[in-house]
Amino acid sequence: MGNRVLFTILFLLLFPVVGGAWLIGDFQIPEKKFVPPPIPAVHSRANTGSHSSSSSTSTATDSGFSDPITGMEFVWVPQGCFQMGSPSGESGQNSDEGPLHRVCVDGFWMGKYEVTNAEYRRFKSAHDSGSYNGNSLNGDKQPVVKVSWEEAVAYADWLCRKSDRKYRLPTEAEWEYACRAGTTTARSWGKGESQACKYANVNDLRSKKKNNFSWSNFSCDDGFAVTAPVGSFRPNAFGLYDMSGNVWEWCSDWYDSDYYKKSPVRNPQGPASGSNRALRGGSWINSAVGVRSAIRHGTRPGERDDSLGFRLVASERR
């Protein structure tokens, strides 16, 4: 109990409460919620051909495959290099987004969408994503929320045991590379905030009216007050949906605010140890500052929240 009290005192000194929310960098996190480059070279992957499908065998083409257990769709993200982090002067930049540094990643399969409630309930049939302010978060096509990092990893391990592929959470480097999809702007659709509601589920006019969050909102209407069914908005150039907004997405890395100062160039895996796991992408409750390709956050691996979800990456067939 003594350590917990000491931690609370230190946290309050470092991150004061402003207007009922934790103030971190330039954006706020409500007490019970997370509010916290050159275009990459594109290389065609080798054609794996098609394979007969069974209860545990996926069928792949050059553009994608569907997992036969859950029906989850994956798209190929080609290898390449990019500038990771945010450039000096980007609006809303936080100190953990620098320095801007070159990173190269190998190609990988990535979930076309965030993992949905229906897909997760194949693993835990009783899972309930609940509701927020009278709006359900529990629809089959909505992204699963209230899932900890440990539970997301357990889901990937469960799917590995049933499949001919290895599934896991993406690294932070893979995640940002996939999110940017060759762009160097603050968001994959460009600099303008006015286009957000075409590409992402964010804290917009509808959310502001329904949820009355105390922080700023996008001045557009994306049509949803809480999480949206996956794929409701336009994809990025890699064909991935909801990389920004909808839900924060767990990554495999330990979170370290200074990691970019020592990150390797090739396939960085994050720190060897830590106390928090990395989250990326922002969510349905975030304003413009929290919905950027470079935004980072970290929290305890056991944390569950109605703005926390995940997507998976997959290997070639084993």
Domains and CATH numbers, the chain: 2-314 (3.90.1580.10)
pTM: 0.82
DSSP classification of residue 230: T
Find, among 197, 219, 196, the residue nearest to 208 by Cα.
219
Residue 40: burial class (beta carbons within 10 Å; 0-12, 13-18, 19+): buried
> In the prediction, which pLDDT does 186 show?
92
How high is the mean pLDDT of the chain?
Answer: 85
The whole-number pLDDT of residue 190 equals 83
Edge-to-edge order in the sheet of strand 277-280: 296-299, 277-280, 248-254, 308-309
Q: What is the pLDDT of residues 6-36, one digit of tens each?
A: 443 333 344 343 333 333 333 333 333 434 3
Residue 313: both structure tokens together: 């990456």
pLDDT tens digits, 252-275: 999 999 999 999 999 999 999 999
Q: What is the dihedral of CA 240, 246, 248, 252, to 10 degrees?
A: -30
Does 42 have pLDDT greater than 80?
no
